[in-house]
Amino acid sequence: MRSVTAFVSGFIFSLGLAIGGMLEPARVVGFLDFFGTWDPTLAFVMIGALAVNTVAYRLTIRRMRPLFAERFALPERTSLDPKLLVGSALFGIGWSLSGYCPGPALTNLVTGTSVALLFAGAMAVGALLGQWPRERVRGP
């Protein structure tokens, strides 16, 4: 049951992306095209997701612990630091240029196209570089 949970979650997640049109870069970029031909689909995906998860979160967090893990792994930071703003700003640019954010980009790997592979590879390099603004936890 424990290992199945993450698998099932991933499975339903990508199906949700597919049905919701989030694997169509043009549609995703269309959502960001506020001053052009606006495609509101992404907004409806967000509404559907938030409708479910807002309620689910409230109910789940009443528990002492998750079903198949020791503790809830929640983010601890609360401040609006420069990293949050700069990181988000840069992400938004990359997202708009390609129509891909991490979820759709990784799901897209099943198509085996060069675009999918190149993007995922670059994303990995970017993620590695992203550790540099952080304090080093371990030595070299």
For residue 76, the SS3 value is: coil
Work out how close the CB of 27 gets to other proteins at its nearest, in angstroms, rounded to a whole number.
6
Rounded-to-integer distance, Cα 33 and Cα 10, Å: 29
Q: Which is nearer to other proteins, 36 or 139 (CB)?
A: 36
Site size for other proteins (CB under 8 A): 112
Q: Which is nearer to other proteins, 67 or 139 (CB)?
A: 67
Rounded-to-integer distance, Cα 139 and Cα 116, Å: 34
Work out how close the CB of 82 gets to other proteins at its nearest, in angstroms, rounded to a whole number.
9
Rounded-to-integer distance, Cα 101 and Cα 25, Å: 9
For Cα atoms 21, 5, 42, give the angle at the middle one, nearest 5 degrees.
15
Is the Cβ–Cβ distance between 60 and 71 less than 8 Å? Answer: no
Work out how close the CB of 135 gets to other proteins at its nearest, in angstroms, rounded to a whole number.
13
64 contacts other proteins (rule: CB under 8 A): no
What is the footprint of other proteins within residues 10-39 (CB under 8 A)?
A: 10-27, 29-30, 32-36, 39
What is the footprint of other proteins within residues 75-134 (CB under 8 A)?
A: 75, 77-80, 83-103, 105-111, 113, 115, 118-131, 133
Rounded-to-integer distance, Cα 14 and Cα 57, Å: 20
